[in-house]
Structure 1
Amino acid sequence: MKLWQKENTSTSQLIETFTVGRDKEFDLLLAPYDVQGSIAHVTMLGEVGLMEKDEAEKAVEALQQIAAEIEEGGFKIDENVEDVHSQVELLLTQRVGDIGKKIHSGRSRNDQVAVDIKLYLRAEVKAVKDEVAELFDLLLQQSEKYKNVLLPGYTHLQIAMPSSFGLWFGAYAESFVDDLEMLAAAYRITNKNPLGSGAGYGSSFPLNRRRTTELLNFASLNHNSVYAQMTRGKTEKAVAMGLSCIAATLSKLAMDCCLYMNQNFGFITFPSELTTGSSIMPHKKNPDVFELIRAKCNRIQSTPNELTLLLNNLPSGYHRDLQLTKEILFPAIEELKACLQLCRLMLTNIQVKESILLDQKYKYLFTVEAVNDLVNRGIPFREAYKQIGDDVEGGNFAFDVTKPLAHTHEGSISNLCNKEISEEMQKVLAQFD
């Protein structure tokens, strides 16, 4: 069954297989949202007189039954049915007869799939947001727990200045705040209703688009019908940009963990059951989880670029190219959620090493502390810098590493500002309500 098929016409099986591609696979993810959009559309049709009131009520009741079957896992797209939209309309027609044939009035598959994707992405963006929020909370908990455990800080992968696990965990927590700002922007773009734009040029029917916007809980609608269709692909790319920011933070965190687990660093360890071994080397505890998080998140960061290459130079209006956005973006969403969940599992079970900086190889981490001590005694900074530099070059540098570090400004070792970071996160999370 094809919504566009006419009598005495047929399509080559080869052409049909090629054009459908993997669409049915991803359409199953859209099924609950397709029914949700149809319920709103039918309700509106009944209210504006394009369906009889009792017809609309019967159609809505049958659609709600289909929605329940989808939720229970009993829904499938038949082999001879083209897509989820066709399957839903077929089921509805089988149950309520000719009433089911009326529900497409004032609607095209173009705006139908557009609203399905927006409803799906809106829900998935909120699911990703929730995963990030849980990891954020864990990072701040670990930051507070280990705030007094010092850690070498690096620039150019050379030892630089003292840091702490409190700073390290907190840095990634705050990074996720900015990442969710990007995702919140994508959420706002997604949370607009394209339904009623038809094939992209509106309809001569007296549709009430504000009513379907209300019924579907969209914050607003895409007002211009041509632009409503132009949001196909653009919405997906906006979401992909938000996901890529989260993935970038996660990838960097995973890389840090791979380094810090290395025996030459030895800053952190994990229980054996969270690492993997070697087929030949009995001593190995490999950071495979973090390596795969790093790799998967690097791939996710390529998603906006892949969508750009797909969408670039398309004129206005619908094009079949847009079908492929699903197979680019939908798996990336699932991958990112899995990476966030696994990262949370790992960091819940992290074990940090105490007294790292007592090792003599880290003594030069304290050169800036020594310079600052001289400055506090009245020596100009440039002279203090030269004096300590000469001590280092001459092999005479020494510093009491057991001396408490006086780092008190906002965002330093002794003043992590975790409360303020948490407050910033709450402001961002409120944007998803």
Structure 2
Amino acid sequence: YYKEELQTIRHKVRILFDTLLNLAKTHQDKLLPGYTHLQVAMPSSFGLWFSAYAEVLVDDVYLLDAAQKTVDQNPLGSAAGYGSSFPIDRVFTTKALRFSTLKYNVVAAQMSRGKSERTIAMALGSVCNTLARFAMDVCLYNSQNFGFVKFPDELTTGSSIMPHKKNPDVFELLRGKCNKIQALQTEMTFITNNLPSGYHRDFQLLKETMITSIVEVKDILDIFNYAIAQTQVQTIDLNDPKYLYLFTVDNINTLVEQGMSFREAYQKIGAEVQKGTYKPDTSKQHTHLGSMGNLGLDEIKAKFPG
């Protein structure tokens, strides 16, 4: 069951990964303000934003694959935890059920109860952590004060008393569901914490929440895959006064390339900011690999495990 479900989840993550890379390619030239500490910081792009989450999903797949490797060991033959006096062929069942290997030690096979669930929960939590952060970005960027993205009416809701509202309820619920899944690893750990070797009835308590969570993660990914494909990227006016200082670092770097020390360049631009005389030069290009001018989409795509 776990093997099949992890493969299904991995496939759904791959769909999202491909969608994000396609969105990154489509919108690679559209600039987006970058923020640190939730304050305007440096220029970014929608291409950089979408492909960032795509590449982070690769890390999540590494953990899904680790969980898959953990559960892909045949435990059959452990019986009550100490094997059987019947001359069973455990190698045959391993091949017949398409396990990659056998959990040889029968006590170790029994001890995999709980450990498998903890490993799966960690992997699911990692995927959901990425999705929760992405959902938060969407909620933020969809708000009037940002206005970077919009969604069709069917993906937003109105207010019972405020007729102007288009609330991102879908992404808010995705965020909440993802945060809930991240608590799963703690539950799996506490149920099995400090249990001695051998079978215990406590293990029965693992199944209900684990199976429910697997179903929820699949639903989360299905909804995410549908919703994110409907993203309506907006054109952002970077001449808006609130983005005045977006290019200060680029302008400092230009002065450094002209021979000024970084300290002096920083002080010069900083003084202009303080005096209110700063005028941004937006012509600086970002060309190194992984920057907004050179996204490395092919390289990111190649990183996804086959």
User: In which range does the TM-score fall when normalised by the shorter chain?
Assistant: over 0.9
One-letter amino acid of the structure 1 residue matched with residue 169 of structure 2: D
Aligned equivalent of 2:256, options 375, 379, 404? 375
Structure-2 residue corresponding to 1:395: 276
Structure-1 residue corresponding to 2:58: 177
Structure-2 residue corresponding to 1:406: 285
Please tell me whether residue 422 in structure 1 is matched to residue 301 in structure 2.
yes
Name the SS for the 2:287 alignment partner. coil
One-letter amino acid of the structure 2 residue matched with residue 214 of structure 1: K
Aligned equivalent of 1:189, options 57, 70, 75? 70
Structure-2 residue corresponding to 1:338: 219
Q: Give me the whole-angstrom Cα distance separating, in 1, the residues matched to 2:130 and 2:145.
A: 24
Please tell me whether residue 298 in structure 1 is matched to residue 167 in structure 2.
no
Aligned equivalent of 2:130, options 249, 259, 282? 249
Q: Give me the whole-angstrom Cα distance separating, in 2, the residues matched to 1:243 and 1:358.
A: 42
Q: Give me the whole-angstrom Cα distance separating, in 2, the residues matched to 1:391 and 1:153.
A: 21
User: Which aligned segments of 4 or more residues in structure 1 are displaced greater than 2 angstroms?
Assistant: none
Q: Contact 2:125/2:182 (CA < 8 Å) preserved in 1?
A: yes
Q: Give, in angstroms, the shift of residue 341 of structure 1.
A: 1.2
Structure 2 segments unaligned to the other structure (5+ residues): none
Indicate the structure whose relative CO is greater, using CA pairs within 8 Å and at least 6 residues apart: 2
Q: State the Cα deviation string for residues 383-413 of structure 1 (Å, max 9, x = none).
A: 0000000000111110133x3x411111001
Structure-2 residue corresponding to 1:351: 232
Q: State the Cα deviation string for residues 221-267 of structure 1 (Å, max 9, x = none).
A: 10000010000111011111110000000000000000000100000
Q: State the Cα deviation string for residues 329-353 of structure 1 (Å, max 9, x = none).
A: 1111111111111111111111111
Aligned equivalent of 1:266, options 138, 147, 165? 147
Q: State the Cα deviation string for residues 261-318 of structure 1 (Å, max 9, x = none).
A: 0100000000111111111111110000110111000010110011111110111111
Q: Contact 2:149/2:234 (CA < 8 Å) preserved in 1?
A: yes
Please tell me whether residue 166 in structure 1 is matched to residue 47 in structure 2.
yes
Structure 1 segments unaligned to the other structure (5+ residues): 1-119
TM-score (norm 1): 0.70
Q: Give me the whole-angstrom Cα distance separating, in 2, the residues matched to 1:347 and 1:384.
A: 41
Q: Contact 2:148/2:236 (CA < 8 Å) preserved in 1?
A: no
Q: How does 1:65-76 map to 2 (within 5 A)?
A: none
Q: Contact 1:251/1:294 (CA < 8 Å) preserved in 2?
A: yes
Q: Give, in angstroms, the shift of residue 358 of structure 1.
A: 2.5
One-letter amino acid of the structure 1 residue matched with residue 280 of structure 2: F
Identity percentage of aligned residues: 53
One-letter amino acid of the structure 2 residue matched with residue 265 of structure 1: F
Please tell me whether residue 135 in structure 1 is matched to residue 9 in structure 2.
no
